[in-house]
Amino acid sequence: MNELINLHAVVGSLIYSFLGILILVISFVIIEKITILNLWKEISERQNMALAVMATGFMLAIAIIIASAIH
């Protein structure tokens, strides 16, 4: 029988998605611990736009690497 949705593919995609998000969060926490400044405090309280752009670039770069590795 031809299924419209392949259950194994959906489950695999969900597992890889959660794994990718977990790796992304862990890598951000590691960067947070390595840097001298508290990144979250600098971005949220002091409105440091340069640091926010840097953090965004970091997140996108890690997300692209994880997506490429999963694909």
Amino acid at 15: I
- How confident is the model at residue 49, as a pLDDT? 92
pTM check: above 0.75? no
Structure-token pair, residue 34: 């390595």
Mean pLDDT per 10-residue section of the chain, whose length is 71 residues: 74 83 85 83 88 87 78 66
- What pLDDT does 53 receive? 92
Residues 6 or more apart in contact with residue 27 via CB below 8 angstroms: 62
- CA torsion 38-43-45-46 (nearest 10°) is 100
- Per-residue pLDDT tens digits for 46-61: 898 998 898 889 888 8
